[in-house]
Structure 1
Amino acid sequence: MRAKITGIGSHIPDVVRKNEEFMNHEFLNNDGSSFGSDNATIIKKFVAITGIEERRYISDDLFTSDIAAIAGRNAIADAAIDAETIDFIIVAHNYGDVKPDGGSSDMVPSLASRVKNKLGIKNPACVAYDVLFGCPGWVLGLTQADSFIKSGLAKKVLVIGAEALSRVVDPHDRDSMIYSDGAGAAIVESSDDDHGIIGQATATYTEEETYFIFNKESYNTKLENKTKYIKMYGRRIYNFALSKVPEGMKAALDSSGVDIKDLKKIFIHQANEKMDEAIVQRFYKLYDMEVPQHIMPMIIHKLGNSSVATVPTVMDLVVKGKMDDHQVNKGDVVMFASVGAGMNINAIVYRY
């Protein structure tokens, strides 16, 4: 028995924020001092490294649980199932529902319970819970769905990744330009054929890596507001990802028994274009191979880093034929891979 994705859906917010809209921001160093260069130079270097030209934010009338429900509804429709037959709803996020003006995160009740309510599912046997696992949360949700299905505890699982990072960023931190909002979802069902999840690997590193991503007050020390925002040590994360993610990807591929030459797509978490390119190059180097063309669909240029939503969103766009030069066909072997706060990494090998 395998866990097979039978429906996929996403929600890409309508509000577009282009890089030029950050020209008037006062970017500061972490000690509150000014940068030695102007914003035009900062943004130019930012684009060269991350590849991000614009990003999407949710409108003020929406919360993370709202866009999670939208993506979930789209996945349910794509799978053509009755929502009342879903056994588990797993929602991966990191900050809960945050108001448009920021402030504290609202996580009680869980976002999964809110999503179940918004979807109108009445069946009490449909168990809803959240996953807090950094950016790899949605991929971990797939792993858990796989376990539920193989153990006989479930036949249908809705796995959602949703985040509104625009509401937890410090406008005085240049890293704020990386983050965006979005949601992606999949219906996972039990299957007796050879399609579905065929290999996986997960790891958590909690020595000095634990606080590579953390929460801290604004870099503007003059502010009386003590709200904490998402922060990161970008260079440390970059080096960590280049070292550990290729190893995790190899572990997942080796567990599947699939030859790397048969891998057709890599759906990878996207926070930094240069980092992703380097990760995939190192992964293929482990097999003494060059990276094939069109192996890694990229959406970061226009959508930014939407955390847990990135991987299911890029898969949804490819499966629905919305990305040039990218498609998946029945029988293709693809990989999901992610890295994020914790520090956590994971990878799944999947036969479409």
Structure 2
Amino acid sequence: MTRGTVLKYARIIGTGSALPDKVVTNADLEKIVETTDEWIRTRTGISERHYAADGETTGDLAFLAAQRALEAAGVKASEIDLIIIGTTTPDLIFPSTACLVQHRLGANGCAAFDVNAACSGFVYALGIANAFVRSGQSKKALVIGAETLTRMVDWTERETCVLFGDGAGAVVLEASDEPGIFTTRMRADGGFKHLLFNPVGVSVGFTNAPNHGVKINMLGREVFKVAVKTLDSLVGETLADAGMKEDEIDWLIPHQANLRIIEATAKRLNMSMDRVIVTVDKHANTSSGSVPLALDYAVRSGKVKRGQNLLLEAFGGGFTWASALLRY
């Protein structure tokens, strides 16, 4: 790249999403764990969530979301030269779920890999794809966030089992001279690992913990405190990096984990909740699937329109946190 070359933008030209057919309400959960609809709604804002069916995988949901995003973009799978999936619940240890989805789409030959940044996975993946497009290494990229988190839920822990759902969302990025992604920010601090983690892994072993270790360990109050603090700082960093002010943001599209965290971020931006996309009530926390699911809902519902500025942000286990400020 020669000195003075102006980098192209990575612009979203299509969105898509996929949710399992099975809907589980708070009333349904009352029958299997000691909880109430009121307890769940007042603390999280969640009313219902979707659960993957037996045999339905993260890759299945990612594939459907990708198909819908490609259709919306008017792009053939063979035109895609990069696929990145943000997920913490891949189909297999290897190959990556991105490789599996690539083959099903018929996009064989392009770069394809997964990113595990927990709930920040999609925004991390979007940031990576943005760098590929702006550097000229990619012209059309498919970025997906997909999860089947309910596969690791411990049904004896009411504080966590009510929080999660399954789903996937996707976007197609294209190199463009028109404004697209202005800036992305990615941060992490492994010092907070003990507050939110799953103890299972290849190196540490699969069966050396109760319930085979397939469970989410979370200290909710502590996670809440750190999430609000770090997202507050992240918002400021993102705006400063893009040279924009709070009132220039048309929509906040946050990670859908907890309504109170979402409200705290909106308050930091001096934004009315009328300008915040909220899907946590219907989807619960779908981890890396939550931001692209919310984005696709916002686009297809007609709320988000071309030319508007969107702030995407997420926070997840690691801890990780990330943002993207873009023009749709």
User: What does residue 326 of structure 2 align with?
Assistant: 350
Partners of 2:251 and 2:145 in 1: how far apart? 20
Partners of 2:98 and 2:277 in 1: how far apart? 29
User: What does residue 335 of structure 1 align with?
Assistant: 311
Runs of 4+ with deviation above 3 angstroms: none
User: What does residue 285 of structure 2 align with?
Assistant: 305
**In the TM superposition, what are the counterparts of 1:63-74 in structure 2 within 5 Å?**
63-74=57-68
AA of the residue aligned to 1:349: L
Aligned with residue 146 of structure 2, among 141, 144, 162: 162
Shift of 1:318: 1.1
**Larger fraction in helix:** 2
SS in 2 for 1:229: coil
User: What does residue 203 of structure 2 align with?
Assistant: none
User: What does residue 155 of structure 2 align with?
Assistant: 171
User: What does residue 232 of structure 2 align with?
Assistant: 246
Shift of 1:330: 2.3
Q: Is the 8 A contact 1:337 1:346 kept in 2?
A: yes
User: What does residue 265 of structure 2 align with?
Assistant: 279
User: What does residue 249 of structure 2 align with?
Assistant: 263
Partners of 1:150 and 1:45 in 2: how far apart? 46
1:142 aligns with 2:142: no
User: What does residue 192 of structure 1 align with?
Assistant: 177
SS in 2 for 1:136: helix
Shift of 1:263: 0.7
Q: Is the 8 A contact 2:198 2:216 kept in 1?
A: yes
**Which consecutive residues of structure 1, in runs of 5 or more, have no partner in the other structure?**
28-38, 98-105, 218-222, 285-289
**In the TM superposition, what are the counterparts of 1:223-238 in structure 2 within 5 Å?**
225-238=211-224
**Which consecutive residues of structure 2, in runs of 5 or more, have no partner in the other structure?**
1-7, 201-208
Shift of 1:168: 0.8
User: What does residue 190 of structure 2 align with?
Assistant: 206
User: What does residue 5 of structure 2 align with?
Assistant: none
Shift of 1:303: 1.1
SS in 1 for 2:32: coil
User: What does residue 102 of structure 1 align with?
Assistant: none
Q: Is the 8 A contact 1:241 1:279 kept in 2?
A: no
Shift of 1:210: 2.2
Residue 148 to residue 21, structure 1, CA distance change in 2 (3 Å): same
> After superposition, what is the alpha-carbon deviation per residue over 1:15-40, rounded to whole angstroms, capped at 9, x for unaligned?
0001112223355xxxxxxxxxxx33
SS in 2 for 1:298: coil
CA RMSD after TM alignment: 1.7
Q: Is the 8 A contact 1:199 1:255 kept in 2?
A: yes
Aligned with residue 292 of structure 1, among 272, 275, 286: 272
Partners of 1:184 and 1:242 in 2: how far apart? 24
Partners of 2:52 and 2:174 in 1: how far apart? 30
User: What does residue 49 of structure 2 align with?
Assistant: 55
Shift of 1:216: 4.8
Residue 110 to residue 264, structure 1, CA distance change in 2 (3 Å): same
User: What does residue 205 of structure 2 align with?
Assistant: none
Shift of 1:294: 1.1
Shift of 1:259: 2.0
SS in 1 for 2:274: coil
1:181 aligns with 2:173: no
Q: Is the 8 A contact 2:79 2:107 kept in 1?
A: no
Shift of 1:257: 1.3
> After superposition, what is the alpha-carbon deviation per residue over 1:292-345, rounded to whole angstroms, capped at 9, x for unaligned?
3412111111111111111111111111126xxxx1222211100000011011
Partners of 2:319 and 2:266 in 1: how far apart? 19
Larger radius of gyration: 1
Aligned with residue 128 of structure 1, among 102, 106, 112: 112
Partners of 2:199 and 2:130 in 1: how far apart? 36
Partners of 2:218 and 2:11 in 1: how far apart? 35
Partners of 1:224 and 1:95 in 2: how far apart? 19
TM-score normalised by length of structure 2? 0.91
Partners of 1:71 and 1:95 in 2: how far apart? 16
User: What does residue 46 of structure 1 align with?
Assistant: 40
Shift of 1:225: 4.2
User: What does residue 26 of structure 2 align with?
Assistant: 19
AA of the residue aligned to 2:55: D
